[in-house]
Structure 1
Amino acid sequence: MIAAENLPRFRSWFLFPFIVILLMLPIAHLQAQEPSDSGSGIAKRVPWTTSKIKGTPDPALPYETERAFPNLKFNQPLAIATAPGQKRFFVAERKGKIFSFPYEDQSVSQTDLFFDLKERVKDLNEIYGITFHPQFEKQPFVYICYVLKPGLPAGTRVSRFKVMDTNPPRCDPDSEEILIEWLSGGHNGGCLRFGPDGYLYISTGDGGPASPPDIHNAGQDVSNLLSCVLRIDVDHPGKELPYSIPSDNPFVNQPGARPEIWAFGFRNPWKMCFHPENGDLWVGDVGWELWELVFRVEKGGNYGWSIREGRQPVKPELKPGPTPILPPTIEHSHREARSITGGYFYQNPRLKELKDTYIYGDYSTGKLWGLRYADKRVNWHQELANSTLKVTAFALDDTGEVYIVDIEGGAFHRLVPIKESDHNPKFPTLLSQTGLFESTKTHQVAPGVIPYSINAPAWADYATAERFVALPGDSSVEVVKKQEWKFPKDSVLMKTISLETERGNPQSTRRLETQLLHFNGARWLGYSYRWNEEQTDAELVSREGDNLKLEISSQVNPQEKVSSDWHIPSRAECAVCHTPFQNHLSVLSFEAAQLNRNQKYGDMVDNQIRALAHIKVLPESVWNEAKASKTLTLANPHNASVDVKLRARSYLHANCRHCHRNNGGGGSTIELGASFDRAGMKAVGVKPTQGTFGITEARIISPGDPFRSVLLYRISKLGKGRMPYSGSSMVDVKATQLIREWIERMQTSSDDSSFTVLRLRNYQRNLLADSVQIEDQEFVSQKIQGILGTTSGALLLLDALDQRPMSEQMKDQIIQLGTQDQSPLVSDLFERFIPEDQRVKRLGLKIDEGTLLSIQGDAREGKKLFFEMAGLQCRNCHRVHQYGKELGPDLTQIGKKLSRAELLENIIQPSKKIDEKYYTHVIETQSGKVYTGLLVKKEDGGITIRDSKNELLQIPQNEIESMVVQKKSIMPEQLFRDLTAEQAAHLLAYLESLK
């Protein structure tokens, strides 16, 4: 309940049960009879046999990557080369060492040091490129591009060295001959390739940093060597240079132009290759803000930088170079790529279907693509694999096999056909095709699809739901352990969500979506179907999800409509809480605590668990437990006849337990399931770890003192840190009253600071009691502002608005002052009184990255957000200099490592690309306990992990039942959801400044 920013916000049944009107649902195709001691209200079950839900609707990518040369590992490999006649790869590591190994043997386990350039060049910063002379046997030369420190006029250098006649080969360190130099900077290019014409081609960058763009305005300036592909003759020295200029270079006779230039207008051309048959030159160019680019390079070609980034204007005022700007051959949006790496053409017969395919990739996303080019156009282009690799280079052997090189893992990889795919091209795209309905028009389910209802529906902005379960044939749910149920393969749980478009008028109810959970035998997969306007059928939404625009009115004034957004979750969003690790935790509402209630079957009423056990949906043991009162039973949170404690715990169970549990994703290690006692909740009397929101002596739950309880504050507010985080965007006012009453009835806390709250209570009582007699409104306003001066006081006034009688004038004054308060800690509480279309515009789930990146942020404001913003507080997991904690990566120099766009991507999609050492480890012990954290140490005696509270947990080996590694970041999803665009820009500006 506490780390709201850690909980993805989706209106998704996959994440929690929705609020439901407890309808007396007749069960189709089930025969009713009088219940008896031995029987049930259901006589028999008709098997469900018409399921069409098989596999997944999303096409699988055709390839995945596998480790090549599994016994070898390098330290940041950056460039790979082969020497003609030598069946070896030469691997240049970033910091100066070059190793070689024979590539014909996949089991090779030893490398040979070819050259340690750092020993010779003490000021070496990085090696960027390596290649060997095409006539290596006659001219045993190696060419190396390396960089000294940035900002030197001659800081990037291409040198030639002799290779000694040794086995294995070694470089002569004293043979260096410097051929050509240019300005060093962030973008140096540095790729070296000999063309089929025997000339050496060299790529150069614009010599500038990631941002601002092209600080030297070099892209269109052919008077220097920056932003180019150069072409020189290394076999024939000139009169003044150790190389000569080929006579057919395009700018040999251009006044003021450097004759070495073959093409220009690149930002940072990263890896080049030549087509093995027609000799075409292909270059991958790292983009700036919006696009990543691949060029088929022509003689004298101008590729636009920095007038353009692909087709996007950047500096249109710049004077263009001497030739027209050419369009990119391929461009990738920053939604799928961030730093392109050029590759090679595949020729090996191992993957015949990739013959003559140009394979390239992206450093940031790990995606790999292939294209084929003929007749002056790309006639085939496809994503091949979605890897987790940091692709900085490719390697090509003499058989035409292409290898992918991962700088972080230090290993070689190659493409292999995907071993198994669940893709089903006939997956039903209409709800009527799923086999779950006899008639979608009347919402009549098919034989064997069984309705069920639950005790504690959750808050979902007034939405209601009908729920169904379908098990294949006559199969049953099995009880593996207590509270752990195993469903048969191809089971389906289904829910149709509806909403009154005129609140209070059931006749205005409209079906919005039907959501399915399908169990494929290994894990639960979620799908959503959007209902059409005619309410006759629903269509499968794409994997990215969908959004509905609704017009909502009230019975009081049906003509006055308010716009409202309804988010249909993406399939990835469904998987956030429906974890594949423990499938019994994926099913949230179909559990004994929710099902143990009476249900109407035809003309009869029976206990739902007994009925489901009678027809073999549930095993008899579940009913026996319930019958013996051994089953926890939840209550409707708003049934006033039930004890307030049970109602409050049921509310938290339904709304919060799915994330605030072991392995649930919540940042606070609290347990909000109803089965935990007061101590087991780890929340009562406990200090919050994710921010106090300005509450003095705050506790997650402060017994007897709701106005010092962060839990109450979070469910009462809008904006950053609100709860429930998933599935709603409106405050459940009835729930705030319930939770307040529950906390207030707890045994009172002995904290002295409760005096502050008592004093505020007296202010409130006096204010409300005296307000009728007081005519001096300025005096009343001052008293209100005095109470609003603290978060606890604001909560008190909000509670008074909801529950205490007061004049309309007083209400208006409190709301006006509350919504206009300068502190968002206060104004967020009163924002719900403002019409939705007039509220603060927050980023929400769909973030326009291009627009956000164009906003100039203030690093000083971003620093305040980073360290101080309640509900965000990045310092709880990250360290900057000596401040913060070390649970996640140290961010002291993050601005040097990642661009602004990469920072944004890492925040929006923290699990898309994560370092292996930050993978989440989930350990289940033999006693059934589950621990989640980062692996710190693994020894024969056990393991040590660091949990989300940054505490070390030691688990003995003999207690470990299983350990699963999830490629999921501990960083919460959707951190920017409730920030304004300006706040997000400030935070990005601060992170970008950390260099």
Structure 2
Amino acid sequence: MRSPLVYPRAVLRPRSLGLSFALVLAVVAACSGDAPSPPLASGPCIPPPRPGGASVTLAPALGDVKFSAPVDLVEGPGRRFYVVEQRGIVKVVSPNGGDPTIALDVSEQIVSGGEAGLLGLAFDPKFSENGFVYVYFTANAEGKPGVVFQDVVARITSSDGGATFDPSTLKTLLAVDDPFANHNGGHIAFGPDGMLYVGMGDGGSGGDPHGNGQNKDVLLGKLLRIDPHGGDPYGIPPTNPFAAGGGRPEIYAYGLRNPWKFSFDRLTGDLWLADVGQNKYEEINRIVLGGNYGWNIREGKHCFEARTCPTDGFIDPVAEYPRSEGISVTGGYVYRGSKVPALAGRFVYGDFGTGNIWSVDGFGETKGTLLTPSNLKISSFGQDSDGEVYVVDYASGTVKQLIAAGDDTSAPASVAGERLAETGCVDPRYPTRAPTRAIAYSVNSPLWSDGAQKDRWLFVPEGKKIGVKPDGDFDVPPGSVAVKTFTVAGKKVETRLFVRYDDGSWAGYSYEWTDDQSDALLLAEGKTKELPGGGTWTFPSRSECFACHTPSAGFTLGLEARQLNRDERGNVLDRFAAVLETPIAKEAFPPLAAADTAGASSEERARGYLHANCSMCHRQGSGAGAATLDLRIDRSLLDTRTCNVAPQAGDLGVVDSKLVVPGDPGRSTLALRMRAPDDDRMPPLATRVVDEAGASVVEAWIRELSGCP
């Protein structure tokens, strides 16, 4: 057991103004202090122990080599690993690492970005004889009206045992027109039957507007099975459900939204598939020949849009989880290795948004068991010939291996934390004031949290320093704790702790204040609560914290130079001077404008608001659909990829809508989503009230735009 964290005394503890931008979707990081008064608690802040990790941990694999936006990992000949980079490159590396070499570069032949790119790789079962390798990528649609690009399955040949693949031998087997830029599927794998299986998304947008999932006459929204050796360009397995008619003969199963990774149990041959949900449920399916998995009539086991819907003829998922636990499922493998005996025969899967990794047995269990909250952007899993399972991190570009956990020494020594007063992170006598050892701060452009007042502060361990990234984001050291307390109508409602543990991992915790305001109690999961004065408050789950506290955003969100460069009894940035690794040149990071900043232009206020409230997800490096637009303040309008760009997540029923239509906020989904109800709202989490000031300033900015660059 290690000693408690010790924190230095703050340089300043002035009063905070309250409102914060912070962590996204009202999920977490920091708080602000109040004016000094009587002496406050000066002991260390000791958060709850690190969650999860009881059965497994992740160890660096492949020499901890870094790849660029990896989306697939395949063991190939000679037990070498092939890493598929979304930009169109396949690299090969030995299990022990070393410098990877390029096996294939088709970056000039594909379309990449968002959910598009080089997405899948599979070796022919007879590779040693024919040298065939198969790839899945998105390609230019060559000006086809109503088609964004094509989803392509192609064969390519290696003449040197897999060291390289010859691009000149590329032969297209299948090309499917894609009407939208998202939901591209992309995974391919050979089954025990020697057939090639292909995962196809539903064509994109939101809600499957063309009804492709249930349309047996199209290939979108399906799992396909073809025989690449049985004809030119391929043959149809005679047992496919529609081989003799009634639908496209390539179809093996249907009713899928966006299958993101599937695999075969190497012992039983069972086919497991993860299907990404719309906005409520992520699902794990065991696929059978001819099975209908319900989309877009159902999402998981539930009716998608209608109050009631048919149930006959649909196959329920083996397991599902709601948005409170994750936002984009990534399928894995049935564990057949020896490093984690407790996982034998269990299907391992994860979530791209939260980094959670679960397992499920598929024989009666309907809910996965959390193995570890990894904080990774899990774009893929991999499995070697020994049955061991690997995890691919899209954000860092590294690969990890699942191993049994030893004694967990990453958590603070104390297991206290059920009551906020036990942590030392807040003094219940003066709960809106930063304790002596904390640094109070406020921000320029606060995150909208239904009008709540927020107080924030940060604990930094004694002797540790905060790094500052080139874009001004703070990189707080392990052992740091960010605190934020929310007050509504004069009553404290919630305090959140966002913790970086000694192993570098993060966790978020919500505490609910008691009715008598004497203390706050730790919540095990998310909840909603009716407030005494009217209105509803949403407490985020621990997983929901990472829907927006992403690696690409640096996890903490309010702690950046542009947010802290503000005057409040002196410059707030100066309060951090003693704990920064290097001084900050304030002139390099102009203050963000808030929606109500006097004297700022509509553009400055709107762009500041979007940076604070949206860019944590909508930025390059976030992956998936969120990365197709970039709302950071330092992007030009052109580089935001919003102006006259078609929306990916649905048009909200507005004809000819775009993300931003210059001069017309009524056709701009970026603005429309700020006022949309329920599931269509952005941000989508922990807010029930439209931010009138924020929505109005974004509308005003769009109205003033005269055109696109």
Report the CA distance between 1:516 and its aligned residue: 12
Q: 1:670 aligns with which of 562, 567, 580?
A: 567
User: Aligned partners of 1:71, 1:156: CA distance in 2, in Å?
Assistant: 31
When residues 882 and 531 of structure 1 are mapped into structure 2, their CA distance, relative to the original with a 3 A threshold, is closer
Q: 1:222 aligns with which of 216, 223, 227?
A: 216
Query: In structure 2, do the counterparts of structure 1 residues 548 and 228 end up closer, same or farther at CA, with 3 Å as the change threshold?
Result: closer
Q: Which residue identity lines up with residue 33 of structure 2 in the other structure?
A: F
AA paired with 1:217? G
Query: For the structure 1 residues 243 and 369, does the alpha-carbon distance in structure 2 shift closer, same or farther, using more than 3 Å as the test?
Result: same
Verify: 1:979 aligned to 2:691, yes or no.
Answer: yes
1-side partners of 2:211 and 2:572: how far apart?
65
- Tell me the SS of whatever aligns to 2:127: coil
Residue 593 (structure 1) aligns with: none
**What is the distance in 2 between the residues matched to 1:350 and 1:319?**
44
Q: Distance in 2 between matches of 1:272 and 1:338?
A: 18
Give the structure 1 partner of residue 155 of structure 2.
160
**1:362 matches 2:343:** no
Q: How does 1:744-759 map to 2 (within 5 A)?
A: none
Aligned to 1:381: 369
> Partner of 1:91 in structure 2?
83
Q: Match for residue 332 of structure 2?
A: 343
Quote the Cα distance in structure 1 between the aligned partners of 2:572 and 2:198.
Answer: 67
Number of aligned positions between the proteins: 560
Q: Which runs of 5+ in 1 are unaligned?
A: 26-47, 444-450, 453-477, 481-489, 491-495, 502-509, 552-561, 575-658, 699-709, 711-863, 902-970
Give the superposition deviation at 1:871: 8.3
Distance 1:315 1:177 in 2: 41
Counterpart contact for 1:340–1:361, Cα < 8 Å:
yes
CA shift digits 1:315-337 (9 cap, x unpaired): 6699999x812222222333443
Q: Name 1:264's counterpart in structure 2.
A: 254
Could you tell me which residue of structure 2 aligns to residue 68 of structure 1? Answer: 61
Alpha-carbon contact 1:148-1:184 (below 8 Å) kept: no
CA 1:866 to 1:159, structure 2 compared with 1: closer, same or farther past 3 Å?
same
| Corresponding residue of 2:523 | 542
CA contact (8 A) 1:59 1:423 kept: no
Matches within 5 A, 1:476-875: 530-531=513-514, 540-542=521-523, 666-672=563-569, 690=593, 693=596, 867-868=604-605, 872=609
The SS at the match of 2:334 is strand
The answer for the alignment partner of 2:394 in structure 1 is 407
Give 3-state SS (helix, strand or coil) of 1:392's partner: strand
Q: CA 1:986–1:102 in structure 2 vs 1: closer, same or farther (change >3 Å)?
A: same
How much has 1:404 moved relative to structure 2?
Answer: 1.9
Change (3 A) 1:258 1:316: farther
Contact 1:877 1:887 in 2 (8 A): no
Contact 1:205–1:266, Cα closer than 8 Å, also in 2: yes
Q: In 2, Cα distance between the equivalents of 1:526 and 1:122?
A: 42
Mapped contact 2:21–2:612 kept (Cα < 8 A) = no
Question: Does the 8 Å contact 2:29/2:497 carry over to 1?
Answer: no
Whether contact under 8 Å (2:608, 2:633) holds in the other structure is no
- State whether residues 65 and 415 of structure 1, in contact with CA within 8 Å, keep that contact through their aligned partners in structure 2: yes
Q: Distance in 2 between matches of 1:300 and 1:290?
A: 25
For the 8 Å contact 1:202–1:230, the answer to whether it is kept is yes
Q: Relative to 1, partners in 2 of residues 1:225 and 1:978: Cα closer, same or farther, differing over 3 Å? A: closer
Q: Partner letter of residue 983 of structure 1?
A: A
2:51 and 2:210 map into 1 onto residues whose CA distance is 45
For residue 252 of structure 1, what is the aligned residue in structure 2? 243
Q: Take 1:213 and 1:296, find their aligned partners in 2: how far apart are those partners?
A: 23
Cross-structure match for 1:43: none
Answering whether residue 135 of structure 2 is matched by residue 144 of structure 1, we say: yes
Distance verdict in 2 for CA 1:888–1:388, change over 3 Å: farther
For 1:413 and 1:231, how far apart are their aligned partners in 2? 30
Local SS of the residue matching 1:983: helix
Equivalent of 2:640 in 871, 887, 892: 892
Supply the distance in 2 between the matched residues of 1:204 and 1:520 (Cα, whole angstroms).
39
The letter of the residue matching 1:114 is A
| 1:191 Cα deviation after fit | 1.5
Could you tell me how far apart the structure 2 residues matched to 1:377 and 1:195 are? 25
1:183 counterpart (177, 180, 183)? 177
1:232 to 2:220 alignment: no
In structure 2, the CA distance between the partners of 1:362 and 1:155, relative to structure 1 (3 Å rule), is same
Instruction: State TM-score, norm by structure 2.
Output: 0.61
Q: Where does residue 625 of structure 2 map in the other structure?
A: none
Does the CA contact (< 8 Å) of 1:273 and 1:283 recur in 2?
Answer: yes
Q: Is the 8 A contact 1:94 1:127 kept in 2?
A: yes
CA distance in 2, matches of 1:881, 1:498: 33
Contact kept? 1:5, 1:974, Cα under 8 Å: no
Q: Residues of 2 paired with 1:528 and 1:568: CA distance?
A: 9
Deviation of 1:72 after TM superposition, in Å, equals 2.9
Match of 1:204 in 2: 200
User: What SS is found at the alignment partner of 2:282?
Assistant: strand
SS of the counterpart of 1:86?
helix
Amino acid at match of 2:164: R
Deviations 1:363-411 (A, max 9, x none): 3x2413222324354475225223233x222222112222222334333
Deviations 1:177-211 (A, max 9, x none): 433332235333232111112221111122x33x2
Whole-angstrom distance in 1 between the partners of 2:544 and 2:249 = 55
Q: Residues 994, 294 of structure 1: CA spacing in aligned structure 2 closer, same or farther, 3 A cutoff?
A: farther
- Please state if 1:16 is matched with 2:33: yes
Q: What is the TM-score with the length of structure 1 in the denominator?
A: 0.45
Distance change >3 Å, CA 291–CA 985, structure 1 → 2 = farther
Deviations 1:543-602 (A, max 9, x none): 679888776xxxxxxxxxx6699999999999xxxxxxxxxxxxxxxxxxxxxxxxxxxx
Taking a change above 3 Å as real, the CA distance of residues 500 and 320 of structure 1, as seen in their structure-2 partners, is: closer
Alignment match, 1:557: none
CA distance in 1, matches of 2:103, 2:607: 54
Give 1:289 shift.
2.7
Q: Name the CA shift for 1:676/1:318 in 2 (closer, same or farther; >3 Å).
A: closer
Counterpart code for 1:402: V
1:243 and 2:234 are equivalent in the alignment:
yes
Q: Decide whether the 8 Å contact of 1:867 with 1:875 is kept in 2.
A: no
Q: Do the aligned partners of 1:127 and 1:144 also contact (CA within 8 Å) in 2?
A: yes
Of all paired residues, the percent bearing the same amino acid is: 27
Matched letter for residue 672 of structure 1:
R
Q: Which amino acid aligns with 2:187?
A: C
Q: RMSD across aligned C-alpha pairs, in angstroms?
A: 6.3
- What residue identity is the alignment partner of 1:202? V
Residue 285 of structure 1, aligned match among 243, 264, 275: 275
Matches within 5 A, 1:919-930: none
Matching residue's letter, 1:158: V
Question: Deviations along 1:458-508, whole A, 9 cap, x unmatched?
Answer: xxxxxxxxxxxxxxxxxxxx999xxxxxxxxx9xxxxx999999xxxxxxx
Instruction: Give the residue type in structure 1 aligned to 2:90.
Output: I
Distance in 2, Cα, partners of 1:94 & 1:257: 32
- Ranges in structure 2 where 5+ consecutive residues have no aligned partner: 1-15, 430-434, 437-461, 465-478, 480-484, 546-557, 578-584, 620-627, 651-682
Post-superposition CA distance 1:415-442 (Å, at most 9, x none):
453742437896474799999xxxx9xx
Shift of 1:243: 2.8
Cα distance change of structure 1 residues 72 and 900 upon mapping to structure 2, 3 Å threshold: same
Paired residue secondary structure (1:219):
helix
Output the CA distance in 2 between the equivalents of 1:157 and 1:4: 49
- Alpha carbons 2:410, 2:501 under 8 Å: kept: no
Deviations 1:95-143 (A, max 9, x none): 333232222xx242242x3233457x58898322211122332343212
C-alpha distance after superposition, 1:639-695 (max 9, x if no partner) = xxxxxxxxxxxxxxxxxxxx9xx9899544324169999xx9x99xxx986369586
